[in-house]
């Protein structure tokens, strides 16, 4: 029986691949034990217990970026946190620590090193964060989603995808998706999403420009997000939902997607061969723009800066694309060539090799 400590959280970009990996580990060896290390503030505090995994909660301790009292106290608090995680590793008999980035991963890597336990690093974004940069110097088992991610000794595994996305039968799911969303199976579908909370600029632009899209013969499934606070027009062929709990069906019916460029979004769409228009949000270290780079360079996607994504851009740039079915088909083929569907299995292979004391090449 193998005991795994999976460290990561905060955002869906860290939690979702962590949970997909946990599920695949348990599928391969149901007698395994999975313990997740996270914080009380992150999404993991809700999502991990809902999935049936035990969550070990530690303090959220951001790295100080300016000299102040918190910076003076940081080294001592961080060292205490590392010792606490080391105690968990020893007490629970953990065999391997797998980190997915975020606040909890850095102390987990150091605790694993102190305890003499193998370390595996998975980086979801094309531009790695500080924790995984540290982790990559402590192990030779480093996995990345995107080929050009600059991490030492990285192996491309792709993104561990949710089972319902990884195993989707697009043809069958399309047949179920059209009636589920009230869509016309004879029309092409533009899926628009800014994530579960929504993206104000995307919402405002689509609300203003949707008549252009409908006029081009397309229909629109717009997942506006739970925080959307604008009035959307009521038009035939324009379906607006604040939240979608069947994104597998939404992606299945999509012939083109307009979305942010989070690593999970880019990975899911390329894995399923869905062309996209990415509108990256300039957050963090600008990783969203870099996440989309391989898809754009490979002909699977178009990138438009957030400030440029306007109704005028839709009329001048998106409409010609919507009217060019050959171009859409070529983008879909390019996405299929780039995408990775078996990221969960690839990462679990690397984890199992680390436990066995070998390194995959």
306 burial class (0-12, 13-18, 19+ CB within 10 angstroms)? middle
Sheet holding 142-144, edge to edge: 54-57, 33-38, 3-7, 96-99, 119-123, 142-144, 154-156
Where do you find CATH 3.40.50.2000 in the chain? 3-161+341-356, 164-338
Residue 74 CA from chain centroid, whole number:
30
**Beta strand 142-144 pairing with 154-156:** parallel
**Beta strand 238-241 pairing with 256-259:** unpaired
Instruction: Pick the closest to residue 3 from 112, 84, 101 (CA basis).
Output: 112
**CA 348, CA 92: separation in Å to the nearest integer?**
21
**CA 2, CA 305: separation in Å to the nearest integer?**
45
Residue 308 DSSP code: G
Q: Is 20 within 8 Å of 162 (Cβ atoms)?
A: yes
Instruction: Pick the closest to residue 348 from 29, 16, 15, 13 (CA basis).
Output: 29
CB atoms within 10 A of CB 74: 15
Sign of CA dihedral 265, 271, 276, 280: positive
Residue 306 DSSP code: G
DSSP H helices in the chain: 12-28, 44-50, 69-91, 105-115, 130-135, 163-166, 170-181, 200-215, 247-253, 263-271, 287-291, 293-297, 311-313, 319-322, 325-338, 343-356
Question: What are the tokens at 2?
Answer: 């193998």
Instruction: Pick the closest to residue 117 from 144, 87, 145 (CA basis).
Output: 87
164-338, CATH topology level: Rossmann fold (3.40.50)
Provide the residue-wise pLDDT of the chain in tens; the chain has 361 residues: 999 999 998 777 789 999 999 999 999 999 999 999 998 888 888 999 999 999 999 887 767 677 776 666 667 788 889 999 999 999 999 999 999 998 899 999 999 999 999 999 999 999 999 999 999 999 999 999 999 999 999 999 999 999 989 999 888 899 999 999 999 999 999 999 986 555 788 999 999 999 999 999 999 999 988 777 788 999 999 999 988 989 999 999 999 999 999 999 999 999 999 999 999 987 766 789 999 999 999 999 999 999 999 999 999 999 999 999 999 999 999 999 999 999 999 999 999 999 998 766 5
CATH no., domain 3-161+341-356: 3.40.50.2000
């Amino acid at each position: 029986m193998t005991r795994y400590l999976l460290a990561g959280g905060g955002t869906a970009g860290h939690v979702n691949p962590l949970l997909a990996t946990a599920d695949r580990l348990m599928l391969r060896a149901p007698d395994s034990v999975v313990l997740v290390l996270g914080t009380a503030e992150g999404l993991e505090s809700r999502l991990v217990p809902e999935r049936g995994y035990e969550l070990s909660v530690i303090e959220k301790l951001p790295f100080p970026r300016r000299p102040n009292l918190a910076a003076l106290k940081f080294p001592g608090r961080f060292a205490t946190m590392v010792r606490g995680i080391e105690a968990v590793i020893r007490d629970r008999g953990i065999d391997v620590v797998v980190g997915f980035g975020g606040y909890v991963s850095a102390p987990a890597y150091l605790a694993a090193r102190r305890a003499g336990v193998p370390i595996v690093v998975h980086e979801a974004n094309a531009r790695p964060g500080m924790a995984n940069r540290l982790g990559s110097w402590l192990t030779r088992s480093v996995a990345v989603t995107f080929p050009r991610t600059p991490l030492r000794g990285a192996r491309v595994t792709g993104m561990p995808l949710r089972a319902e996305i990884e195993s989707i039968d697009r043809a069958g799911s399309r047949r179920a998706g059209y009636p589920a969303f009230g869509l016309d199976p004879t029309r092409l579908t533009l899926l628009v999403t800014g994530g579960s909370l929504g993206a104000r600029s995307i919402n405002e632009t689509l609300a203003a420009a949707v008549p252009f899209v409908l006029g081009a013969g397309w229909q629109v499934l717009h997942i506006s997000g739970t925080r959307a606070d604008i009035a959307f027009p009521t038009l035939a062929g324009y379906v607006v939902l604040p939240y979608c709990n069947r994104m597998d069906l939404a992606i299945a019916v999509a012939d083109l997607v307009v979305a942010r460029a989070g690593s999970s979004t880019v990975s899911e769409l390329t894995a399923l061969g869905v062309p996209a228009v990415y509108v990256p949000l300039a957050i963090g270290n600008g990783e969203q723009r870099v996440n989309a780079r391989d898809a754009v360079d490979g002909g699977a996607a178009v990138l438009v800066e957030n400030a440029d994504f306007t109704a005028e851009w839709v009329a001048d740039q998106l409409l010609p694309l919507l009217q060019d079915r050959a171009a859409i088909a070529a983008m879909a083929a390019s996405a299929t060539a780039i995408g990775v569907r078996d990221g969960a299995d690839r990462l679990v292979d690397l984890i199992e090799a680390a436990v066995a004391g070998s390194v995959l090449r």
